[in-house]
Amino acid sequence: MQIMKVDPRALKENPDRMRQTKSSPQADALMLATIKAVGIVQPPVVAPQTDGGNGYIIDAGHRRVRLAIAAGLDEIEILVADAANDNGAMRSMVENSVREPLTPVDQWRGIERLVALGWTEEAIAVALALPVRQIRELRLLANVLPAMLEQMALGDMPSEQQLRIIAAAAQVDQKEVWKAHKPKKGDTAPWWQIANALTKKRMYARDASFGDDLAQAYGIEWVEDLFAPADQDGRYTTNVEGFLGAQHEWMTSNLPKRGAIVEVNSWGQPELPKKASQVYGKPSKSDHTALYLDRDGKVQTVHYRMPEVAKPKGAADDGSSAGSNSNAVAPPKIRPDVTQKGHDMIGDFRTDALHDALGRAPIEDDMLMALMVLAFAGQNVRVDSGADGTFYGGKRFSRHAVRLFDEHGKLAFDQDTLRVAVRSVLIDVLSCRRGMSNSGMVSRIAGEAIGADEYLPNMGSEEFLLCLSRQALEASCGEASVQPRSKVRETRAALVEHFANEHFVHPAGRFAPPADELLDWIRAGAATDVIGSGGHEDDDGHGEDLGEQQEVHAGEKRDHDDPQDVDVGSEGEHDQDFDQRAAA
């Protein structure tokens, strides 16, 4: 380097200088007073122009040159350095970093300039003595709204986690949130509120039990978390609905023997069946397994034990009553083929199979449209969804409708996008679950139309077979070529063993509705169409007989109100609640 004197007005500013954030008026006033009193203590560093000119470009000292001109100095000393092949980018950044720390925004601009010149993140980190993680964090600023960058350039920076959330959001979302939370002049920004408004829940690949096939089927795209530990799978998705759907399908396909999928309560704990006690030690062969999704969407497993069914007083092993009057004629007790709990389970089986079929089975476009009409003719169009709780149309369905619009708000979509949207709406609407979310006849018609029977799980489990009467069990034995036993529990055990390696679906669980009920539903719908808005009729046109509906709801109320309503088919072969009604 050589020292020489020049007119500060002849020096040219470097367009690639690192420090672009303006200094405060107080700092400028202090330096100006110092220059007027003692001159420039440390000469600015300049380099010859590389574009063919004869002048000099400032590498370091733009502020000193500017204030020397303001002080009216005709000449100042400068240090002339050799021209750098990166136009002094690294030299300027190092000099500014040592003199006074650059703001994170200026650091980011310098890093991007160096990257554009061919520097790697690792090389920049070594040259600046900074961790590579910090270099990558600063590069997140490239995804930040310019208006937010201006606030950050003032030294008002969010935390690393807040910056990651902001940078991961779309610019249009950042603009909307910044408009709502923009601070007044001189105030700091409420970054925690901004980050909270832009937060999207992340579901991590390391918590997924499903494989790539289900990920693709549910439209899950993994994004790499650059800040995850090196030894940890940092991939994640914000498609929470798709992740949970894939997890649920995996659980359905991988249920163990005596297994069931359960919901969780508001504390995130599994809701086990009534009277069940959780097993905290090593489970026995007779214990049950419950699968559920925790708050992170991870599949969890617990084991539970059901209490042994008490024998009626005086009952012998063969089902007869010891010491009873042999001359007394007991009234016949006829148990229904399937109990209320059995119908509840069938409703869940049908719904899950229907949703699987709607998501994966080949369905023609015209059939999809017909199913859509059927879905909104269901009993549950409030909508009480069998897939995700209760909601009221509009806002819920808008998440599917927005897929059909382009960035300019125009209705524009391809056939694949339309199919995904229609399938999603059908999954939200159609349900066979018992209670408020039951779509009634239409869900069974839809399930039969798309072959959802093929997606029904194996009903040859101990839990479901406990819901069948003796005559229903013996009928199942005939279909499976299993010899009925003298005791019901032995017959059931034989069926459980037989169906362990075969797929069993009880006839009552299939989707095809009885022909007479279907015709009644069609006639009721036709009558409603004829009567129109000016007429009146007692039947509301929903798919099932009113008496049957009342019986179902009465049964549900009884299930909730009477804690003794349990199935005792292993010995007594009759539900206690049914026995009580029969005796009455």
Q: What are the domain boundaries of the chain?
A: 2-142, 259-307, 340-458+508-561, 459-504
Tokens representing residue 414 in the block: 């391809």
DSSP 328: -
Number of H helices, E strands in the chain: 23, 13
563 vs 183, higher pLDDT: 183
**Quick one: what percent of the chain has pLDDT higher than 90?**
12
Amino acid at 385: S
Beta-strand relationship, 259-261 and 288-293: parallel
DSSP-derived secondary structure for 422-479: HHHHHHHH----SSTT--THHHHHHHHHTTGGGGPPP--SHHHHTTB-HHHHHHHHHH
Task: Evaluate if residue 524 carries a pLDDT over 70.
Answer: yes
pLDDT of residue 531: 52
What three-state secondary structure class fits 577?
helix
Tokens representing residue 293 in the block: 């999704």
Beta-strand relationship, 235-237 and 223-224: antiparallel
pLDDT of residue 450: 92
The pLDDT confidence band at residue 570, using thresholds 50, 70 and 90, is very low
Q: What mean pLDDT is predicted for residues 480-485?
A: 84
pLDDT tens figures, 176-224: 889 988 998 888 999 988 988 887 778 899 999 999 999 999 999 998 8
Task: Evaluate if residue 96 carries a pLDDT over 80.
Answer: no
Task: Evaluate if residue 126 carries a pLDDT over 80.
Answer: no
Tell me which residue has tokens 């969804």: 385
What three-state secondary structure class fits 209?
coil
pLDDT tens figures, 497-506: 888 888 888 9
What Cα–Cα distance (Å) separates residue 556 from each residue in 249, 309, 337? 27, 21, 17
Contact 386, 358 (CB under 8 A): no
What three-state secondary structure class fits 12?
strand
Task: Evaluate if residue 255 carries a pLDDT over 70.
Answer: yes
Tell me if the pTM is above 0.85.
no
pLDDT of residue 330: 60
Task: Evaluate if residue 384 carries a pLDDT over 80.
Answer: no
Task: Evaluate if residue 549 carries a pLDDT over 60.
Answer: no
Q: In this structure, how many other beta carbons lie within 10 angstroms of the beta carbon of residue 521? A: 23
pLDDT tens figures, 394-442: 455 556 666 667 777 776 767 787 788 788 888 888 888 887 778 888 8
pLDDT of residue 581: 41
pLDDT of residue 383: 58
Contact 218, 243 (CB under 8 A): yes
SS3 for 364-428, per residue?
A: CHHHHHHHHHHHCCCCCCCCEECCCEECCCHHHHHHHHHHHECCCCCECCCHHHHHHHHHHHHHH
Give which of 503, 509, 510, 511 is closest to 458, Cα–Cα. Answer: 503
The pLDDT confidence band at residue 449, using thresholds 50, 70 and 90, is very high
* Arithmetic mean of pLDDT over the chain: 76
Peptide bond into 383 cis (omega under 30): yes
pLDDT tens figures, 240-252: 888 999 999 999 9
Question: H-helix or E-strand containing 332?
Answer: none
pLDDT of residue 578: 40
What three-state secondary structure class fits 531?
helix
pLDDT of residue 385: 63
Q: 43-47, 87-91, 201-205, 340-344: which has the minimum mean pLDDT?
A: 87-91
The pLDDT confidence band at residue 290, using thresholds 50, 70 and 90, is very high
CA atoms lying within 13 Å on the CB side of residue 454: 9
pLDDT of residue 113: 80
Tokens representing residue 529 in the block: 């169409």
Give the C-alpha separation, 298 to 60, whole Å: 54
pLDDT of residue 538: 41
pLDDT of residue 304: 92
Q: In the sheet that 235-237 helps form, which strands lie side by side, from edge to edge? A: 203-204, 235-237, 223-224
pLDDT tens figures, 294-334: 888 899 999 998 887 666 655 555 555 444 455 555 666 67
pLDDT of residue 89: 60
For 295: left if phi > 0, alpha if psi spans -120 to 50, otherwise beta; the answer is: alpha
Task: Give helix 441-449 / helix 340-360 axis angle, nearest 10°.
Answer: 50
403 vs 508, higher pLDDT: 508
DSSP H helices, 488-542, are: 488-499, 515-531
Looking at domain 2-142, its CATH class is: alpha beta
Tokens representing residue 506 in the block: 């009880």
Amino acid at 91: R
Task: Give helix 240-253 / helix 340-360 axis angle, nearest 10°.
Answer: 120
Our CA dihedral for 583, 434, 489, 282, rounded to 10 degrees, sits at -130
**Phi, psi values for residue 70, rounded to 5°:** -65, -30
The pLDDT confidence band at residue 380, using thresholds 50, 70 and 90, is low
Give the C-alpha separation, 449 to 453, whole Å: 10
pLDDT of residue 561: 40
Task: Evaluate if residue 93 carries a pLDDT over 70.
Answer: no
Contact 486, 514 (CB under 8 A): no
Tokens representing residue 215 in the block: 């990920």
Task: Give helix 89-99 / helix 121-128 axis angle, nearest 10°.
Answer: 40
Contact 121, 149 (CB under 8 A): no
284 vs 217, higher pLDDT: 217
